[in-house]
Structure 1
Amino acid sequence: MDIADPEVEQQPRTDSPVFVGSDRYRIQSTLGAGGMGIVYLAEDLKLHRQVAIKKLKDNAASQNARDRIQQEARLLAQLNHPNIVALHDVLEDQGDIALVMEYIEGTTLRPWMRERSPNLQQKLSLLMQICLGLSEAHNLGIIHRDLKSDNILITENAKGEPVAKITDFGIAKSQQLDEKTLTEENQLAGTITAMSPEQILGKPLDARSDLFSLGTIAFELLCGSRPFEKHEAGALAMANRITNEAHTPPQEAWPDIPEPLAILLDKLLAKDPAQRPQNALVVYQGFALLHKQGLESESEDFTATMTDLFTHHKIKSRRRWQRVVAGIAVALVVGASGYWGWKEFTRLEPQYIAVMPVEINGEIRGEENAKALTRTMVRQALMNSVSQLKASALVSFTPKEGQDFEAQLQKLKDKGVTDALFARLECAQVRCEIDIQRIEPVNSQIKQQKSFTFLADKQQEGEYRITNSATALFPASHTNKTRAQVSMSDEDYRKYLEILSRLDQKDLSPEDLSVLEVMINQYPLNTNLYHAYTSVSAKLFVQTDQGAFIERGLAMLERAHTHKLDRQQLLVQELWLRTYSDDKASFEKLLKKFESQEAPSAALLAKYGRFLYVQGDYEAGLHYAQEAAQLNPSADNLYLIAINQTASGDYENARITLSRITKHFPEHWSSYALLGVIELESGNLRAAESAITSIPENLRGWRTKSNLGVVLFLQKSYEHALQIFLSVINEVPDDPATLGQIAETYLMLEKKQDAQRAFRKLLEVSKEENGLEAQQFKAIAEANLGNSTRAIVLVNNMIREASDDTYVRYAAAQVYALAREWRSANYHLEALLQQGMGAEWFNLPAFQQLCTQPEVSQTVANAICD
């Protein structure tokens, strides 16, 4: 339905039909009008419902206009999705045409945004719905070409939640139809502000053009302003902005935007379609990840996972419990990533060193950001000290907000950190007393410390002294020859610190690389500048997904080699940059060169192992995780081994790895949770319960609680299982899996009315979703509510999509049993038993009905019947 002008006043009711001879629809009022068409509110006298009728204005009925409305009818006839306005009927009279469409009681997105104050969850939910509607159209080869906020209608469902509906496919194009769908009268059809650069330039379009338009909608909805503000010089100037000028950075429009969300907006608004996500389903996954679990996650690994998702377009279909494993991995695998690191040149005991947040008390005289720049200088000096130590690697560490000192040390212990550097400053005007401590995270003991005074306005001298003082806290056998200081001008040094400060705040621009290039030309022997350059290159790549930044970083390292700087450090920097590339062959070639120096970095190996895990290459991920753990057997490196083993189905070795973790790191709770998943999947219910209940109750995540509920359910402890499921639903209201578990538990407790209410709720919360798991929930709910025909249709669709998926088969067996289709139910049950699913999964009344049916095979009867 098209609401071209929401401010058009409704006209009085008329009894005139839209077409002569059409007495089924009676016009009630005018909903809106545009340049070519008009939309009426009408009553469908046959079905007693309100509809919207869209027809051409009499003065706009050119052949091109008729072609467009006919095109819209043809395309809408193919589309049947809850997030796309539905076509009910087509009316024709003497060469004229009108579309009878679903009437949406609501408004378009922009006025809805003005009138409401939606929270971030509601905004993400709407964007997820738009993605699903777009995905449906794109799967049928349909490109909208005029996706904008005025073509997104917002209504409310029965619960008062906003629902998005895509409308106005008048200039949409089917990729299966002839290119001459529209005549030359509308060569550039659409709205400039909603167009992609390639659409403005008249280039061939694919689905990624709509994703650019989706990016403009998402930017406005989330950030409260448009990515390209309207240009006063008119449409041509606006077109030039979109095709040639950068969009407003999301962080500028919304300073507090979560970094993964900013990354996604930047990718959607990329000029080059190849730099955008591959399809709308990938974008949906990103919004869904943020909606369900990402809003409270600020870890760099979470950001990296999002970046990998949007960069490499991987859509993984896993069994339900494997999806739980993936969720655990995203939230808990910290996978020690580092700035630089290496193995000892000799047989020294390796050291993995982290720099803790710098604490400054008092005030520092000078410019407004004097304290921030001093903090950056001290942090950088401590990091530099690690580069002067043999057999040492610097491990990156950023504590969670509000995490106390002891909790930080515990986290460092789990990361395998052997030494932590901590600095506390007491400053007054330009004098600062600094206390530098070398702390052992294993026992929280201070090994060494040193105190002295420096002048805050002499920052370069301060950095050099802090670096050497921190180095001196370590044994002389680990200390390399101290590097000479390569000084810069005070102005250049301040610029350098400002860039490092923005690096920590993730607020960089390509101009920062240009500034560093100028400084490197002037100070070519300053090693710190090359470190800064590669760090900025990597961060800009994460922000923009532009491989050119990685290439610039690699080229700068080649320049560094010509000045005969520390080859070892340059190799580490190159290895780090190449972890952001898809080129496994180049990475492995470099790694062999690195290993020939007898100095591989556990931190970088772990980072690459995690990267491969996210890509689904579990065999390679396992290899690099094992290499990292050999060098640094930290809890996180061992856990990285375990999740790769689990994801590849090697449960036996995963158990061995997890046992090793819990023996040496008895409070690494994510290992117990993963072990619970493995034992549950294997049918070892007592072992699964033991693993999960080893975790303190207040530290169990809702997924782990849900797994415990399933364990108790399968052990027939239904009352206890129900208590747990109800507590989970309080934490994550409307979670479909938990609602399904609640409903099935009520069935086992013979509380049929409660079960029916839970199944109705499950159907309600899953009806707007169309993924494979959502279809399973809907099918089971429909079958238990007596709607067998609808349930079987859903099951057949799922089987066509994923016939080998365990939970598709499980849903199919349950649906067919409830529909009394005994032979079909038996077929899927036999397949599940052959796969190794235990008999305890088939205690539901639906399955037990089969025990009295002659059509059931002896194999099934022996397995599931008493």
Structure 2
Amino acid sequence: MDIADSEVAPQSPATDTPQLSDRYQILSTLGAGGMGVVYLAEDRKLHRRVAVKRLKADAASDNAHQRIQQEARLLAQLNHPNIVALHDVLEDTLDNGGRSVALVMEYIEGTTLRAWMRERTPNLQQKLSLLMQICQGLQQAHDLGIIHRDLKSDNILIAENAKGEPVAKITDFGIAKSQQLDEQTLTAENQLAGTITAMSPEQILGKALDARSDLFSLGTIAYELLTGSRPFGKNDTGALAMAHRVTNDPHTPPQQAWAGIPEPLAILLDKLLAKDPAMRPQSAQIVYQGFALLHKQGLEAESEDYTATLTDLFTHHKVKSRRRWQRALAVVAAALVLSTGGYWGWKEFTRLEPQYIAVMPVEINGEIRGEENAKALTKTMVRQALMNSVSQLKASALVSFEPKEGMDFEAQLQKLKDKGVTDALFAQLECAEIRCNIEIQRLAPQNSYIKQQQGFTFLTDKAQEAQYRTSNSAAKLFAPAYQRGDPSLATMSDDDYKRYLDVLSRMEAKELGENDLNDLFTLSNRYPRNIYIYQGLSDTAARLFVLHNQKEHIELALRALDRGEEQGVDKSITYRLKLLLYSLSDYSDQYQDLVKRLEEMKMPAAELMYQRARYFYRSGKYADAVDSSLNAYKLNPSAASLYLAAISQGAMGNYDASRNTLKQLTEKHPKHWSSFSALGVIELELGNLEAAEKAITSIPEPLRGWRTKSNLAVAYMLRKNYQSADRQFRAVLQVSENDVPTLGQLAEVKLALGDQKEAMKIFTKVIEITNGTSNQELRRYRALAHANVGNIEEAISIITDLVRVAPDDTYHKHAASQIYALAQEWRSASVYVAELLAQGMSTAWFKLPAHQQLCTQPLASTPVKSAICD
């Protein structure tokens, strides 16, 4: 298709000066384009100068005639001081019988914005003032449903008012369209109307347009006016090449074009120039409010304070002086007077979009000279560097990701998409002896596109420097507005750095030991300002706590993080790591306080909501977990958030809601196998044993984890197929030898089989494993084990506390019904059974020996006995 190019010089204006009517006398030619000529004329009736735009004689085609008539219709609707006014429309008959149309318009004695930029050196307030005026004119057009479609610096005229201040006037609505009129193509076939450097990506691609297309064009004007450069470079390689850049390539970061640009302005330009219209502001009015606020602040601040004050105001940094804070408040108040909705729309507009970043497995090709595990150590170093780079970014959260063995690259990206990840960091290395070439890519899981990439070479015997450079390079793949700046490098001795990498490589290989945590703690004492140690220390403590359930592991990591803060480590790093550690155990007050602090630091809201939901779920506050996880899903639709909502609904016995949520999840993410496993659990509790087995066995055999296999064993147990359940539970224990839920359920199978001795042996083992635990699930099995070995008082003490803390927990109530039956407190046991039956739990769950004792007890309720007894 042919694309009109803004760099093509206009044709020479006609030399004749035709007489249009008795009223208008042509004085001179102002300019000419492909279709028409613009004349300066005298309005004899009103004694004023006007501009007359008339079709050329050789351009009076139907297409051109329709265009100028449409321009007249649109201009007739517009009456705004920042839009060139239409005074009259003239039509006459040509010698060849055709019709000629001329528009009589307001004459602007001035120049175009492009020429004005070349000839003047305006200050920032003058530039902002012009942009505000353009926004106001544009908003009036948009309010009337009119899209300009060719907004550019050449179509903005600049005049001066009586005070000598520049005034902007939008002109040339020749290819504008009204959204209220029927769609009508006013261009020749295969030709795109407009100027390529002024077009939005959707206009170039021929997609449907709305007002946000003009806002992209406004962004190109604002970018050039503010920075002196064009966002996509000069149009010196042809229109098609420019079209490709506009539709596919990112614009040059505003900070690169103007190093001193205030951060809010940079964010504004980034959002105006977003490829996706949905990422741009919704109206020119919102943009106007932003420019107005910035303009007001600049006028009231000393020049040396301007950038700092502006950054303080919009990024919520601490204001460094009382005077500056008072000015900021005054500006906010002024903005609220102008338009409360507009101001808050501007705040939303200028905020950084949250980023959810995951690190993919590192790929290394070639061999590295050195120790036997040199390649593994290098891989660990790069992965840790990429993970640490996220802490150097604002409004960003690190999403944990460990692909299953054998998962190919596309499957990994799909998994990240399911997790709601917006950006994935991937590193590929080509190594030979001690030299590696690394390429770091920032990928979009949604479409597998490479957003940015960067490469360099490093020496493996200089691993600390390589880790530092890798981390900083990865952070620089993101927009400058997100970057906090490069952290300082606190180096370790070569021996200590090797110890550090050795521990982390064992963590990735799942071979951690107690000494590994102590080694990292010692290193954090020795190098308290080295930020890389803290990530590894926190991950190691979390892994060991999950494995051994010893709170001392978490306490050790927290002490190290506290000391790091005292030594000046950025709290955006330590707070993020503390949140992980607090969520694992009983740190309710600390957790809630830290969430508030992270909210103030603009941690992505969806990540905070999700972490809250996980904490509530672990604490047995299932209703709160559902609310938080669904809110997280609204902000960032990830499978993880929806899954957490579903299992929370199931845990509180809301089976229908849980089933519906899981159905929604599996429809959107058909390979989210954890959802099928959870659906199997719901069907098990409802007694739909065939449906449960179907859901569980729909998971491919190689992808069934030990938890899923354990659920399958429960299905056998509820069917009273105790031999099959026994074999399945034992198979699970071969993979996870000390899994407490599996041990507890196996012991119940042994009781059902009449093997009292083996059951008691397993219950005793459960008591040993769970000694000192604070985990609610493990404490529940500990209570059951105590009850079965005869420690009734201890069992009741534990289960009473659990039911108090999490009164909605289905599994706590089921355990309580067993424990009270074993304690021969028949009424209490009967009450819990009745409550569980009422919420929909299947009678199959009450065929265990402990429950069957109720069948012969007069104190048990008759409805309960009728339901559960054979």
TM-score (norm 2): 0.42
Q: Which has the larger radius of gyration?
A: 2
Greater RCO, 1 or 2 (C-alpha within 8 Å, sep 6+): 1
